[in-house]
Structure formats: structure tokens, C-alpha cells
Amino acid sequence: MADDLRLAQDAALAGAAEGLRHFAALAGLPREVKTDGSVVTAADRAVETRIREVLAAARPGDAVLGEEHGETAGTEGRRWIIDPIDGTHLFVEGDNRWLVLIALEERDEISVAVAAVPAQGRIWWAERGGGTWEGRIQDGRILGEHRIRVAGAGPAELAGSRLGVVPDWGRDKVAPLIEAADERAWTVQPALLVARGELDLAVQTGGKIWDFAATSLIVTEAGGDYRGLDGRTRPGPGASLYSRSAELGDIALKVLNDR
């Protein structure tokens, strides 16, 4: 029986392949708008269905929470958390920065996480206590895996700190942080760039647990810090902050809370 990390990787690769199939046929892809104003497509549902199939075949007793198909109960005290296409607005515009996110929650803590960027052929993963790793996807396999870490110690100040902000809306709530730091454009989700040392800070201005479950572990296992803007240290609804150190995160939160 495959271990949980390998299973999460297999599920992410299967979801990535399904997502790419739809990404190649964007012109005919039906789109809907949810009650919260976000876009959902047939691709989101198909990717989540495919991921659930892989997980259910190996772990039929586990609970699963997905953005599109809700939560199914389990009996083992374990829960898989899925965001089948994180960044659907990017997906429908033909932007290659969308992700497939999968995490395993055990005893209220994230223990395994995978983040794939299918259209770029890139994948990140982490296991609690096992560090954070990055590789490339080729022919449905993971190649070139190597361990990554956040940027080395530097001045604990916002001036000059490299910042990524996602998405493009809701920026007003983090305006003081944007003004104080050095905002950079991003080629993949900014939290992943914090994990690989290319950014010092990343902020996501809103989301649900499935938006943060995987990336929170990927950043912390790379040596960084994850918190909600309300100070929580576990993934949940609301805006979230990723930083290369808890000290820098404290400073960023203070700037936001002093607003």
C-alpha cells in the first residue's frame, strides 16, 4: 500500500493530467459564477472527481473535503483537503499559474501536502518532519526532485523584503504591507516562492481552508512561517500570510494590525 505522501503525489498527478486536458480545450469550456462571485468550470469538478477516485481506491475510510463536491465522512480520523484548480480565474484566461492542491489532515494538523502547477510541469510537496521538496512533472512522473528552503536569515524589516500578493482583488486590506515592502511579480503562487527562497513574504487576501492547507505545510517545512492575518497558525478561512521567518511575520502582522 502506497504511503500517504506517494498517494498524494499520485492523486495530484492524476488531477494535473485531467486539468491539462481541459486547459487545452478552453474555448469550449462551460463556465459558471458561484454565489460568492468566483468562477467555476466543468474542469474544476472533473479534476476533483479524478483526485477523489485515486484517494478512495487507496484509502476508502478517509474523509475528503473538496471545494467543488463538499465533504464526505470518514471513519479513520483522517481528512484529505482538495482544491482541484486553485486560481480558476487564471485557468479560464489561459494563464499557466493555476494549481492543484492536496493536503492530508490528521488530528487537526496538516501532515502531507502537494502543490502541482500542471501547465508549467512543476510540483512541490512536503511531509511533516520531512522538509519541503520540488520537482518537475514529465510524462506523468516526478523527476529532478530536490529539497528547498526559505531565504537565509536577513534583516527583520519590511523595507527591501520581497513580497508577493495574490489575488489581484482585496488588496486594500493589506495596503500598508504593500507600501512598506518591495512587491514583486510572481510566476507561481507566491507562497511557493517563499518556500524556495525567491520571496520573503507572501499574502493571500482571502480564501478557504483548501486554499491554504497544502501551502501552509510546504512553507513551514521549508523553514518558514504561516499565519492567518488574525494570528491563527492553522489553515482556515480568511486572509493568510507566509514569511521566511516568524520574526518577519510578526513585523508584517503588526503593520497590518496597526492600520
* C-alpha distance from residue 12 to each of 20, 155, 235 (Å): 12, 37, 20
Distance CA 42, CA 123 (A): 23
Determine if residue 86 is labeled as part of a ligand binding site.
yes
Which helix (H) or strand (E) segment holds residue 93: the answer is none
Location of C-alpha cell 478517509: 62
Closest CA to 213 of 122, 83, 87, 107: 83
β-strands 31-33, 99-106: how paired?
A: unpaired
Number of H helices, E strands in the chain: 7, 15
Determine if residue 83 is labeled as part of a ligand binding site.
yes
Distance CA 91, CA 119 (A): 10
Location of C-alpha cell 502541482: 116
Determine if residue 67 is labeled as part of a ligand binding site.
yes
Q: How far apart are the first and last CA of the chain?
A: 51
Which helix (H) or strand (E) segment holds residue 38: the answer is none
Determine if residue 211 is labeled as part of a ligand binding site.
yes
Closest CA to 216 of 77, 103, 90: 103
Helices (H), ranges, the chain? 4-23, 42-58, 88-92, 175-180, 190-195, 209-221, 246-257
Binding-site residue numbers for Mg(2+) are 67, 83, 85-86, 211
Binding-site residue numbers are 67, 83, 85-86, 211
